[in-house]
């Protein structure tokens, strides 16, 4: 299992809002209304605290969705102790978003249904949070998560976290008045007075004691107990009979993967051979290609598969304007999720998300957990089958 420190650098930003308004009183419990159109009402007797986070700038949409799940889970645990709201980091010109449409500082509502997210944990958009902060856009504390300089220390994994000097230059800069500044996804005037580097080697939910105990001067009892990374999902249905449309779908990841995952990402010729092989096995002639490849590469792939029908989703200008690159990617994933058979790209979180959708839809796992083999032979383990536990 990946942990808070392996794959992404996280940044936690904490804030306690004094401006949260109390809207009604019910015995000794208060109902707080957080923000304008933000979170559902919380029944509580402690001030609401807010957790903001950010991921390494180069990371893509689906990795960020995975991180969201982890942080939401962390907030779920925090909420067992005191009320916390998760402030959603805007989507700001992601590295992979190449279309000419405007895609800076996008709220989560561009892609997701906030009401649904709110059913899991209380969330709010960053711009709503700023509105609640008011004139003085001061954030209480910023923790910049980093790996231990000395690595794992004796090579053995053990949970630990310590305040340490920053091991490398961070994105935060201190101005003349001592305020720590950062771009804050394009929103101006936000600053913090406290900035600390935190070396961490731990699963994200183990941050609960730190966040509840060490980040405020409040004295409360120590928290005991086990924090499991995932709350278990139970499903009442059986593995379904989903069959999928009469097409093969593939996710063929290119661009940075050709550098970052050379051995497990196939050449176009290799990919074409594997596609043809599966099409023949399934007696299909149509293949849907989800890819971030440039047009020239798609043409080349098409030339290798001239006897088959290759389909891609190409949005009109209007659709692109409306859904942006993130929305178009979700449409690609949705089409892949409904195919008779799917082949993904090794270690791509974009592909993992399709596996997950298909598993939820109830496809036979053999039609789902497949990936392209790289050019290097002997390096083609098929993906782990993350199956739903039916109760
Ligand atoms: N529309 C579309 N975009 C893609 C496709 N593959 C990659 N991308 C883009 O590249 C990004 C890849 O980053 P991420 O989602 O984190 O997945 P990963 O890097 O493959 O693990 C996606 O979010 C998309 O913006 C694809 O098949 N279709
Ligand atoms: C949190 O506080 C406890 C108790 O004061 C202390 O032992 C621990 O080192 C602190 N953790 C960090 C990461 O500073
Ligand atoms: C923030 O910084 C100020 C000034 O350096 C310090 O007095 C205060 O205790 C810090 N607050 C926290 C929560 O670390
Ligand atoms: C494909 O067609 C052949 C010949 O018609 C048939 O024997 C085979 O069972 C079919 N395979 C599938 C997966 O439908």
pLDDT band at 3 (very low <50, low <70, confident <90, very high): very low
193 C-alpha to ligand 3 centroid (Å):
7
Q: Is 255 in the pocket of ligand 1 (CB under 6 A)?
A: no
Give 6 or 369, the one with higher predicted confidence.
Answer: 369
Q: Taking residues 243-250, report their average pLDDT.
A: 96
215 C-alpha to ligand 2 centroid (Å):
10
- Whether pTM > 0.85 for this model: the answer is no
Q: What is the DSSP string of 114-156?
A: HHHHHHHS-EEEHHHHHHHH-SS-EEEEEEEEE--TTTTSTT-
Closest ligand 3 atom number to CA of residue 217? 13
Instruction: For residue 59, indicate whether it is catalytic.
Output: yes
Q: What is the pLDDT, as a whole number, of residue 148? A: 86
Q: What share of the chain is helix, strand, coil (3-state, %, to 5)?
A: 30, 25, 45
Give the three-state DSSP class for 23: strand
Q: Is 177 in the pocket of ligand 4 (CB under 6 A)?
A: no
Cα 74 to Cα 232: distance, rounded to the nearest angstrom? 14
Q: Is 282 in the pocket of ligand 4 (CB under 6 A)?
A: yes
306 C-alpha to ligand 1 centroid (Å):
26
Q: Is the pLDDT of residue 217 over 80?
A: no
277 C-alpha to ligand 4 centroid (Å):
13
Nearest-CA residue for ligand 1 atom 10 is 96
Could you read off the pLDDT of 343-356 as tens digits, one per residue? 999 999 999 999 99
* Residues 6+ away with beta carbon under 8 Å from 266: 252, 274, 372, 373, 374, 375
Q: Is 328 in the pocket of ligand 1 (CB under 6 A)?
A: yes
Cα 169 to Cα 146: distance, rounded to the nearest angstrom? 11
Give 12 or 384, the one with higher predicted confidence.
Answer: 384
Q: Is the pLDDT of residue 28 over 90?
A: no
Could you read off the pLDDT of 55-100 as tens digits, one per residue? 888 888 998 888 898 889 999 999 888 888 999 999 999 989 999 9
Environment class of 188 (CB within 10 Å of its CB; exposed 0-12, middle 13-18, buried 19+) = exposed
Q: What is the pLDDT, as a whole number, of residue 346? A: 94
């Amino acid at each position: 299992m990946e942990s808070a420190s392996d794959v992404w650098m996280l940044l936690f930003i904490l804030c306690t809002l004094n401006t949260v308004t109390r809207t009604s009183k019910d015995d000794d419990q208060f109902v707080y209304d957080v923000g304008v159109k933000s979170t559902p009402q919380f029944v509580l007797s402690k001030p609401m605290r807010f957790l903001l986070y950010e991921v390494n700038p180069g990371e893509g949409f689906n990795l960020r969705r995975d991180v969201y799940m982890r942080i939401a889970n962390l907030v779920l645990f925090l909420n067992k102790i005191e009320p916390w709201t998760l402030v959603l980091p805007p989507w700001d010109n992601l590295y992979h978003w190449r279309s000419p449409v405007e895609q800076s500082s996008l709220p989560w509502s561009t892609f997701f249904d906030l009401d649904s997210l709110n059913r899991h944990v209380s969330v709010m958009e960053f711009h709503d949070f700023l509105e609640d902060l008011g004139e003085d856009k001061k954030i209480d504390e910023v923790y910049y998560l980093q790996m231990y300089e000395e690595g794992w220390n004796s090579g053995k994994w053990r949970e630990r976290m310590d305040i340490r000097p920053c091991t490398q230059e961070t994105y935060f800069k201190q101005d003349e008045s001592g305020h720590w500044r950062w771009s804050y996804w394009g929103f101006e005037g936000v600053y913090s007075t406290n900035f600390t580097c935190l070396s961490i080697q731990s699963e994200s939910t183990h941050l609960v004691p730190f966040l509840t105990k060490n980040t405020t001067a409040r004295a409360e009892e120590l928290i005991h107990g086990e924090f499991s990374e995932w709350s278990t999902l139970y499903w009442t249905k059986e593995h379904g009979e989903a069959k999928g449309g009469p097409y093969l779908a593939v996710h063929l990841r290119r661009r940075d993967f050709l550098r970052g995952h050379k051995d497990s990402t196939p050449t176009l010729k290799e990919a074409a051979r594997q596609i043809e092989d599966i099409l023949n096995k399934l007696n299909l002639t149509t293949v849907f290609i989800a890819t971030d490849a440039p047009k020239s590469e798609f043409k080349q792939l098409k030339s290798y598969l001239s006897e088959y029908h290759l389909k891609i989703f190409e949005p009109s200008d209007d659709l692109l304007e409306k859904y942006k690159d993130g929305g178009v990617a979700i449409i690609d994933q949705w089409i892949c999720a409904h195919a008779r058979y799917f082949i993904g790209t090794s270690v791509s979180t974009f592909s993992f998300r399709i596996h997950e959708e298909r598993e939820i839809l109830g496809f036979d796992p053999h039609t789902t957990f497949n990936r392209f083999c790289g050019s290097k032979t002997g390096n083609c383990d098929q993906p782990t089958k993350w199956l739903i536990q039916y109760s």
